[in-house]
Amino acid sequence: NFKREEQNFVVQNEINNMSFLITDTKCKMSKGIVSDQERKKMKRKGDRYSMQTSLIVATLKRLLPVGLNICAPGEQELIALAKNRFTQKDTEDEVREIIRNNLHLQGKLEDPAIRWQMALYRDLPNHYEETSDPERTVERVLDIAHVLFHLDQVEHPQRSKKAVWHKLLSKQRKRAVVACFRMAPLYNLPRHRAVNLFLQGYEKSWIEAEEHYFEDKLIEDLAKPGEQEPSEEEEGMKHIDPLHQLIQLFSRTALTEKCKLDEDNLYMAYADIMAKEKEMEKQKLLYQQARLHDRGAAEMVLQTISASKGEMGPMVASTLKLGIAILNGGNSTVQQKMLDYLKDKKDVGFFQSLAGLMQSCSVLDLNAFERQNKAEGLGMVTEEGSVITHERGEKVMQDDEFTCDLFRFLQLLCEGHNSDFQNYLRTQTGNNTTVNIIISTVDYLLRVQESISDFYWYYSGKDVIDEQGQRNFSKAINVAKQVFNTLTEYIQGPCTGNQQSLAHSRLWDAVVGFLHVFAHMQMKLSQDSSQIELLKELMDLQKDMVVMLLSMLEGNVVNGTIGKQMVDMLVESSNNVEMILKFFDMFLKLKDLTSSDAFKEHMPHDTQLQTDAGWQTASSATSSQYLGGLRSWAPKRIERSILRSSESSRTQWEKPQVKRNPKRQFILMW
């Protein structure tokens, strides 16, 4: 580095080193005194600078006598010894130790020639005062030995050192590397560009048109055990299906049997197996899941989600689909494997990533939707941009599929009333940091409800919800349905801890908001036939919410906390609940109308009426399975209601805590 810095300094300032080294009366460092003839001679850096003309080397040479002058004769011997040790490639610590060990010998000189030099040295008026600190003497000797060693290396460089780095990249290798950079890639060649176009068309027209998924076939091929190659004789033989052979055997036995059939255990076993087709499909699913589970797919899913750090992306989306596939059907083995892994590794990052993904999931954005509509209304898009605008309309809540997969994955973790996983999602016992996934789910549900309410108010002043609005509502409703199903799975069993966690969360605010949406949207959607499909989706969402509320009451005592909170919530939303009941009462009135005698007498032989009556009967039978209450149309007076009750209900009615309840106002007769 010193060499390079000095070389740049000399060249930039046009310094003549030789004129500086030769003692004369001229200015040594002036750049203006360099003649034109000398400038023509000095064409290269090497002409202006060399080891022999280096200013640093020359300075060290001129200052070296000054440094040696302050050393005693004994110290000069130590300097020579240290220089030789540096030449032998000893380390600085080793040389310092040698100097320290030989320092005490400098005062014990028996040579007469040295003695008179020592006496002369002491008689000099400007001699260096010997210090009482031996460490300072050691450091002084070591520094001067360093200077002498490096000056000797400049004058006599070691020839044993070879420039090994020149061999690492020879000229031939340089040419090969440069040629690789200059080569055109294969995808830029005309022939390969044509092949790529053909592959894209083949994938779009043939591969994507297939109904089955090739991933299943790929897993089967990868997990298939090794098979021996068939010989030529086996290739010539026709493959025989063993199941077909077995069925033929049973058929021929039945045809040739003259007396009554004897009991055949093999036949009965295979008949039972073939009769349970659905069970076989389930077993096949479990077999496929077990193959992936045995190969570490469950741990891979958890590790990938934990590594995502809560950021959405294609990797996480594919991982969630894989997790759903291996957990589908409530595979308890995979659930336990995942739970054991999380407990053993104490992986807090997995739950933090889940909470982060929930926060990243989008909802209906009314502000962006309004800005887009204003831009379209003002004509701020060109004809070419109209297609882009339509695509933007499709991008409202574009991650709805990802969101459904996320909450479906959480639902399957608790599928089958897995109480261990239900509690672990709420509190990770043993971890330094715990993340309550139950509360995170409620927070996202509240965000979805608020966005749906905002969109309802936007369309409340319009007669009909347009097609784009129906698509947006449908996305949000499907996501909300999945969230309600996930919450239901959190608490079913029942899981008392999760029930209490939900009861003390903002779940009731979300339910009140949804009741308001149900009460106002169902009447609006029922007024136009183009909105019937959206109305059906809304009613399905209402059903899932009611199932979740019923699950909140599982296992609770009479007059419990959750029951009181639910009553307070219904009282707060009494107007909305009344509107919902009136909407359902319309269907009950329709049944009374079609089954009345006056209506039948008016059209006695109309086949359409009979068909409609059959449909109403079927609807009534279906509704009676789910409706558990009735309304008495008798204002301002008390009526006696007679209900038919089951045996279990009567047993519960006779319990002491129910009898002592002051709200027991029904008179049952059976």
Express each pLDDT in 302-347 by its tens digit: 888 888 888 888 878 888 888 888 888 778 888 888 888 888 888 8
pTM of the model: 0.51
Structure confidence at residue 587 (pLDDT):
63
Q: Which range scores top for mean pLDDT: 255-264, 310-319, 427-436, 477-486?
A: 477-486
Helix axes 419-426, 467-491, angle to 10 degrees: 110
CA quadruple 350, 354, 359, 360: dihedral sign: positive
Phi and psi at 666, nearest 5°, equal: -95, 145
pLDDT averaged over the chain?
72
CA 322/CA 217 separation, integer angstroms = 15
pLDDT class for 170, splitting at 50, 70, 90?
confident
Structure confidence at residue 137 (pLDDT):
82
As a whole number, mean pLDDT of residues 466-489 equals 88
Q: Which residue has the higher pLDDT, 8 or 168?
A: 8
Residue 433 scores a pLDDT above 50: yes
Q: Which residue has the higher pLDDT, 311 or 65?
A: 311
AA letter at 250? F
Instruction: Please report the DSSP string for 101-116 in residue order.
Output: HHGGGTT----HHHHH
Structure confidence at residue 370 (pLDDT):
76
For residue 188, what is the DSSP state? G
Judge if the upstream peptide bond of residue 225 is cis by omega within 30 degrees of 0: no
Q: Which residue has the higher pLDDT, 458 or 662?
A: 458
Q: Which range scores top for mean pLDDT: 164-168, 261-265, 392-396?
A: 261-265
Residue 294 scores a pLDDT above 80: no
Structure confidence at residue 610 (pLDDT):
57
Residue 132 scores a pLDDT above 50: yes
CA 551/CA 542 separation, integer angstroms = 14
Q: Which of 83, 74, 188, 65 is nearest to 121 (CA)?
A: 74
Q: Are 581 and 630 in contact (CB under 8 A)?
A: no
Q: Are 472 and 369 in contact (CB under 8 A)?
A: yes
For 549-561, write each residue's pLDDT tens digit: 888 888 776 667 8
Helix axes 419-426, 332-345, angle to 10 degrees: 40
Q: What percent of the chain has pLDDT over 90?
A: 3
Q: Which helix (H) or strand (E) holds 523?
A: helix 507-525
Residue 268 scores a pLDDT above 60: yes
Least confident of 52-61, 163-172, 284-293, 610-619: 610-619
pLDDT class for 479, splitting at 50, 70, 90?
very high
Structure confidence at residue 653 (pLDDT):
65
Q: Are 460 and 520 in contact (CB under 8 A)?
A: yes
pLDDT class for 543, splitting at 50, 70, 90?
confident
Least confident of 233-247, 419-433, 448-462, 580-594: 233-247
pLDDT class for 31, splitting at 50, 70, 90?
very low
For 595-633, write each residue's pLDDT tens digit: 666 655 555 555 555 555 555 555 455 445 444 444 444
As a whole number, mean pLDDT of residues 513-533 equals 81
CA 320/CA 408 separation, integer angstroms = 9
* Integer CA distances (angstroms), 594 to 1, 435, 527, 611, 624, in order: 103, 56, 21, 11, 17
Buried b (16+ CB within 10 A) or exposed e, 509-534: ebbebbbbbbbbbbebbeeeeebeeb
Structure confidence at residue 487 (pLDDT):
92
Residue 519 scores a pLDDT above 70: yes
As a whole number, mean pLDDT of residues 189-202 equals 79
